[in-house]
Amino acid sequence: VAPMASKALGVSSARSFTGTAPAQNKVTVVGAAGGIGQPMSLLMKLGGKIDHLSLFDIVNTPGVAADISHCNSKGKVTGHKGAEEMATALDGADVVVIPAGVPRKPGMTRDDLFNTNASIVKGIAEQCAKSCPKACFLIISNPVNSTVPIFADVLKANGVYNPQKLMGVTTLDVCRAKTFVAENQGMDVDKVDVTVIGGHAGTTIMPLLSQVEGAKFSEEDIKALTHRIQFGGDEVVQAKDGAGSATLSMAHAGAYFADKVLDGLNGVEGVKECTFVDCDLTDAPFFASPCTLGKDGVSKIHGFSGLSTFEQALVDDNVSALVKMAQKGSDFVKNN
Ligand code: NAI
């Protein structure tokens, strides 16, 4: 894709003046100084596809930005610190990736983060609605099953909600699924694809192992692998022993997914990834499934079919939990 023809116009205005898709690549990371934010921003800078990588956090972003900016790959890096610099950080962004908020400690579920992270995500959504309402929003902050509905409701309240552009990042579940399946089957990890549907917490994470091409699982394997994919995050939380949750693997997953969203925005065809989106696949208002990523964000939600009895039971057992977690997010926005 050709570099931006006119920086002065800003990416959004350039988009509306041209018939062909211009490069769309200002990416803002919100929570950029954190455990995920720093390595994810580094990977994005090294990816070389971003014209302007804008790093925002309430602390430490000038240092992180100065440091990453010395990497000799394409793209400008700017750092913005504190609430008063948030609007500038977000202005004209095409993609906003959000790993802001507290991570888990041993013994915590993602839902235990709700009280702290709900208000952080709500505040970020309010500023995004004002500063970059047309951006794609990629939500990493947990509990994703509730923070995505919170983000949606804030955008709705501001009259700027576009369901095609709001995505809960479930890529780490897919990364774990591919890794664990490849190990179990002795397959080349680069060639393994696993669809993971549902949500991003415990049993709401539902890998469709019956659909992995070229794999042959025993019934025990299916149960053990499914459980490991669903609770893989706990392995990291326990190993880190109080120092947080997955940051490096999440940085990889987040940078990878943002890269795919950018590819779609920039006109690459056939980009397909699992992500947690507004849809009517089940009774839950948001559900993850394979989606095609296009010039306007999610261009097609593929849904799921042909589930094994085991997988169908997982879906049947978990939709109500997803409904509740989404409702908890919506109630928070209503009452605050
Ligand atoms: P961290 O504590 O290392 O970093 C979080 C960063 O967010 C900090 O730098 C903090 O200053 C910043 N922050 C807090 N409030 C903010 C605000 N209002 N605006 C901008 N920045 C703000 O945490 P870590 O490990 O990076 O995790 C971040 C989040 O990602 C957690 O909620 C965690 O549960 C979630 N997570 C999600 C995963 C997923 O698969 N979706 C996987 C792993 C973690």
Residues of the chain with pLDDT > 90, as a percent, come to: 93
Q: Which pLDDT score, from 0 to 100, does residue 3 have?
A: 40
Residue 170 pLDDT more than 90? yes
Q: Would you say the CB of residue 146 lies under 6 angstroms from ligand 1?
A: no
Residues of the chain with pLDDT > 70, as a percent, come to: 93
Q: pLDDT digits over 118-153, tens only?
A: 999 999 999 999 999 999 999 999 999 999 999 999
Q: Which pLDDT score, from 0 to 100, does residue 14 have?
A: 38
ipTM of the complex: 0.99
Does 302 qualify as catalytic in the annotation? no
Point out the catalytic residue in the list 80, 200, 227, 302: 200
Q: Which pLDDT score, from 0 to 100, does residue 7 have?
A: 35
Helix (H) or strand (E) holding 197: strand 196-198
Q: Helices marked H in the chain — which ranges?
A: 11-17, 37-47, 61-69, 86-90, 114-131, 144-157, 171-185, 219-230, 232-240, 248-265, 309-335
Residue 272 Cα to ligand 1 middle (Å): 26
Best residue among 113, 114, 250, 257 to mutate for probing ligand 1, ranked by most atoms within 8 Å of CB? 250
Residue 269 Cα to ligand 1 middle (Å): 31
In order, the DSSP letters of 303-330 are ------HHHHHHHHHHHHHHHHHHHHHH
Task: Name the average pLDDT for the chain.
Answer: 93
Q: Would you say the CB of residue 142 lies under 6 angstroms from ligand 1?
A: yes
Angle at 215 between CA 230 and CA 181, to 5 degrees: 35
Q: pLDDT digits over 13-55, tens only?
A: 333 344 444 555 999 999 999 999 999 999 999 999 999 999 9
Rounded-to-integer distance, Cα 144 and Cα 135, Å: 19
Best residue among 57, 60, 61, 104 to mutate for probing ligand 1, ranked by most atoms within 8 Å of CB? 57
Q: Confirm whether pTM is higher than 0.90.
A: yes
Residue 319: pLDDT band with limits 50, 70, 90: very high
Q: Are 132 and 126 in contact (CB under 8 A)?
A: no
> Which residue shows structure tokens 């879906």?
315
Q: Which pLDDT score, from 0 to 100, does residue 182 have?
A: 98
Query: Is 141 annotated among the ligand-binding residues?
Result: yes
Residue 322 pLDDT more than 60? yes
Burial class (CB in 10 A: 0-12, 13-18, 19+), 247: buried
Q: pLDDT digits over 102-121, tens only?
A: 999 899 999 999 999 999 99
Q: pLDDT digits over 49-77, tens only?
A: 999 999 999 999 999 999 999 999 999 99
Residue 224 Cα to ligand 1 middle (Å): 29
Q: Would you say the CB of residue 33 lies under 6 angstroms from ligand 1?
A: yes
Q: Which pLDDT score, from 0 to 100, does residue 238 have?
A: 95
Query: Is 250 annotated among the ligand-binding residues?
Result: yes
Atom of ligand 1 at shortest range from CA of 246: 43
Residue 329: pLDDT band with limits 50, 70, 90: very high
Q: pLDDT digits over 269-279, tens only?
A: 999 999 999 99
Give the mean pLDDT of 273-294.
98
Q: Would you say the CB of residue 102 lies under 6 angstroms from ligand 1?
A: yes
Q: pLDDT digits over 176-206, tens only?
A: 999 999 999 999 999 999 999 999 999 999 9
Residue 103 Cα to ligand 1 middle (Å): 6
Q: Which pLDDT score, from 0 to 100, does residue 24 have?
A: 56
Residue 221 Cα to ligand 1 middle (Å): 33
Q: Which pLDDT score, from 0 to 100, does residue 9 have?
A: 34
Q: Would you say the CB of residue 314 lies under 6 angstroms from ligand 1?
A: no
